Chain A
Amino acid sequence: MSIMTYRQALHDTLRAEMLRDQNVFLMGEEIGVFDGSYKITAGLLAEFGEKRVRDTPIAEEGFTGAAIGAAMLGLRPVVEIMTINFSLLALDQIVNHAAKIYGMFGGQAKVPLVIRTPGGGGQQLGATHSQNIELYYAFVPGMKVVAPSTPADAKALLLAAIRDDDPVLFLENLSLYNTKGEVPDDDTPAEIGKAAVTREGRDITLIGYSRMAHVASQVAEQLAASDGLDIEVIDLRSLRPLDRGTLIESVKKTHAAVVLEDDWLTYGIGAEIAATISDGAFDYLDAPVRRVAMAEVPLPYSKPLETAALPSADDVIGAIRQTLDAVGHRRR
């Protein structure tokens, strides 16, 4: 077990997988000479050479499509899209090709592609560079979408993504790159599609992923100290497949849930979580599932406006109190 940053965990895992499997190679903008916009690929060009660490022309559709072709040949490309916002330029190749080739080829050609890309607001990058649009990909059959919140999960899920034979969108988060945590030394991949109960509790379930999984944990600790609340926290880790069982089992125990999401409320991922809970645990719910999401505006560059638009710990605490009020605190 070592303590390291989320960034270091990603870097070390990429390197280890490239050493383990000659078929693993990297493509993306600025990932070689420049070490990557967020330095995840630092030093890999020098170590592995330009055939396995390819700086590409500035064309997301181009390198994503090329990676799909390489993956069909049997290589295991890991492409970096500088931020998830730029994945919109590769939408056709991801949705119409990466996700569908396996099926449209009758199960005869696999596309073992990993698209690494960070999302997340709060960095004052403006409306077009701060979005959380992972749900576009979580919507699509054929895709897998994973979103680690800790350095340990960054490692375990990246191992799983690279070794998976399906295309995986691997969601990173700008605000998490410098966060630290314990990372196991062994290289056991995570099971894609399994959520983690990161804190057990009886009073209410908080559900988040990526940055919002941290916010959920902070709020749970804070309310345990201030109000003596016993909050269960679920880190989704995988958006597709979604771990329906873990969500439903938790709500059967706590009878209430609040979903935290960094995207827009209407049609957002929280809507799917709420529907899943209603479907699987309706009779156990003592209050409607509440969702905490960002304001439905393009995220402003202005710091006070950006802060105002993003969901905060206070928003989550407010939602928990409203939910528990609706429950009537009958258990306390």
Chain B
Amino acid sequence: MLRPSASSDIRNDIRSTELLVQLLNPDGDRVPDPEFDHWVADVTGEQLRSLYEDMLVVRRIDTEATALQRQGELGLWPPLLGQEAAQIGSARALRADDFVFSSYRENAVAYCRGVQMGQLLAVWRGTALSGWNPFDVGMATPAVIIGAQTLHATGYALGCLQDGVDSVAVAYFGDGATSEGDVSEAMVFAASFQAPVVFFCQNNQWAISEPVALQAHRSIADRAPGFGIPSLRVDGNDVLAVMAATRIALDRARSGGGPTFIEAVTYRMGPHTTSDDPTRYRDPAELERWAAKDPISRLRAYLEHEGLLTEEFEASVKAKTDDVARELRAACLALDPPHALSVFDNVYTSAHSVLERQKSQYAAYLAMFEEVAE
């Protein structure tokens, strides 16, 4: 599992990345790595506990949202079960002025960015077009066309260059997305203009029912060097390795070194969405193998070794996750359906003759029902 140590500086190295960077093995043992260690050397015991709490909170959000969907309160939910370390480790490395362009499964990233519980669910409950204001939290509303957001991130990064700021755009996408032309074009543009963008690929092994082997004949991370982009392949279930890799990429982008590609190797433990049944196409033995590499249990084991897993701490985490679940459910049920006439809003930024005509016709139609009611 371990990447052999290389003689050159990993930050500038473009090379084969078949092997995996790991700082925390599935048993929770800290694996020393001379090149990556110093990128997380400042992480204190308190911060480790905080990462652990984050991962439990987002797993609870995920569980509760899945339950809400099953109970008919949400139309759909895309669970992130198993990908907590990949999302928390990367999102917690970001600065507030960085900007995230994500796909639809990055609910843990959204949580880290400060998206509120109700905002997280509004789109899935069908009460709003967008759950949150992207500029309040530095994260765009999720893109639902696979891979398209990588180009938006690249363009945003070009804007950062133009403005002379050291903010970084981060594109989250999956293994399936890497087959889309948009992702290749995004890498071409990012490399050509040395745009401060991080391509963060969560290889969760499955694009609905298609295994990653159908998308890539060898490791996805190996593709980026062909575009002239340095690439890192990390254990995506290892929150420390993910954080180290993200910090390397962010540091390079901020200091004018251009884009970095990170492949976080993880596993989608649940279905693609609540509409999917993975037992139809997935070997249960594979699920078991990955369950043994669970991102939360390995950090828990590490905390235990370090004497950080006190009863008091566990109780406080339990209380926190219970609160979050209650808050999530209450926020969901409090989301009111939008007024029918608002269907005409937000198509254009200013008045549009066709829409105004259609809106007034529809308003007159709706008014007929009010007259009947009276």
Contact = CB atoms under 8 A, between A and B. Distances in A.
Interface of A: 25, 51-52, 54, 56-57, 59, 61-75, 77, 92-93, 96-97, 101-110, 141-142, 144, 164-166, 193, 240-245
B185 A25 contact: no
B349 A62 contact: no
Nearest to A242: B354
Interface string B174-193: 00000001100110110011
A241 B141 CA distance: 27
A69 B100 CA distance: 11
Contact of B129 (A57, A103, A240): A103
Contact of A105 (B130, B151, B347): B130
A144 B350 CA distance: 12
A106 B130 contact: yes
Interface of B: 99, 101, 128-131, 133-135, 140-141, 143, 145, 148, 151-163, 169, 181-182, 185-186, 188-189, 192-193, 345-350, 352-355, 357
A149 B9 CA distance: 58
A105 B128 CA distance: 9
Nearest to A50: B193
Nearest to A67: B155
25 contacts: A61-B151, A65-B148, A65-B151, A65-B154, A66-B154, A66-B186, A68-B152, A69-B159, A70-B159, A71-B155, A72-B134, A97-B143, A102-B346, A102-B348, A104-B129, A105-B134, A106-B128, A106-B141, A107-B346, A108-B130, A166-B349, A193-B353, A241-B353, A242-B354, A244-B353
Contacts of A77: 155
Given A54-B193, A103-B347, A66 B353 contact: no
Contacts of B130: 104-108
Contacts of A104: 129-130, 141
Contacts of A65: 148, 151-152, 154-155, 182, 185-186
A144 B349 CA distance: 11
A193 B18 CA distance: 56
Nearest to A106: B130
A141 B140 contact: no
B188 A107 contact: no
Instruction: Tell me which of A56, A71, A73 has the highest count of chain B C-beta atoms within 10 A of its own C-beta.
Output: A73
B340 to A, nearest CB: 16
Nearest to B356: A241
